[in-house]
Amino acid sequence: MKLLVVEDEPELGRLLRTALERAGFAVDLAPRLREARGFLAVAGYDAAVLDLSLPDGDGLSLLATLRRAGAGLPVLILTARDSPEDRVHGLNAGADDYLVKPFHLPELVARIRALLRRPSAALGLTLTLGNLALDTASRQVLVGGQTLPLSPREVSVLELLLRHQGQVALRASLEERLYGMDREFTPNALEVLIHRLRRRLQEAGASPLIHTIRGVGYLMALPA
């Protein structure tokens, strides 16, 4: 799951990125509207976190661009403005949720997950295939009812594969959603991740298989 975070305070931006990456999200951090528009022109996102007071304008002016980028893209507004009028204004302008600074990072993570579970953004609370289940709320993975401990990034790639089950998940789209575009990642990072996940699933006795479609992507399906 990939997030666009628009925040101009460097310290807060770093904290947000670290907390969200630890929670298993890929993060693109834009310090201004200008960079945010640039990112939106070339990348897809699952949700956006938007500061309102930015050096080159009001964060709300980005909402229209965000709406064009993805019809159901959830937007959480982050702001020091806390008057009821500001909240109403933000929500009327199309934001899905509102968090007033200062806030607790775990609350931000919980709210983003809640937004991503909405019907427009998600297929359901629990994604299942064969004896494999992923609870998108708790991030818990079960194989035949037994918990399988996985790293946040392994859970994220599994979630993407499960959401595409029966179809090929394109390599470029997986990479884009797993790794922020301004973060270095080695060319075979995705292969290594999938290889590890495949082994973990196999060892745990999961019935679905991850097929490699050479040069294209990955397909998760039950054995024929």
In the complex, which residues of this chain contact Ca ion (CB under 5 A)?
A: 8, 51, 53
As separate numbers, helices (DSSP H) first and strands (DSSP E) second, the chain gives 8, 14
Minimum Å distance from CB 98 to Ca ion? 15
Q: Which of 200, 202, 103 is nearest to 151 (CA)?
A: 200
Minimum Å distance from CB 208 to Ca ion? 44
Minimum Å distance from CB 24 to Ca ion? 26
Q: Strand 217-221 vs strand 209-213: parallel, antiparallel, or unpaired?
A: antiparallel
Minimum Å distance from CB 181 to Ca ion? 22
Distance CA 82, CA 101 (A): 8
Of residues 3 and 210, the one with the C-beta less far from Ca ion? 3
Diameter of the chain measured on Cα atoms: 58
Of residues 53 and 138, the one with the C-beta less far from Ca ion? 53
Place of tokens 């949720």: 97
Of residues 7 and 176, the one with the C-beta less far from Ca ion? 7
For CA atoms 222, 47, 117, 93, the dihedral sign is negative
Minimum Å distance from CB 131 to Ca ion? 47
Tell me whether the omega of the peptide bond preceding residue 102 falls within 30 degrees of 0, making it cis: yes
Of residues 61 and 188, the one with the C-beta less far from Ca ion? 61
Q: For residues 10 and 141, is the Cβ–Cβ distance under 8 A?
A: no
Distance CA 105, CA 163 (A): 27
Of residues 56 and 203, the one with the C-beta less far from Ca ion? 56
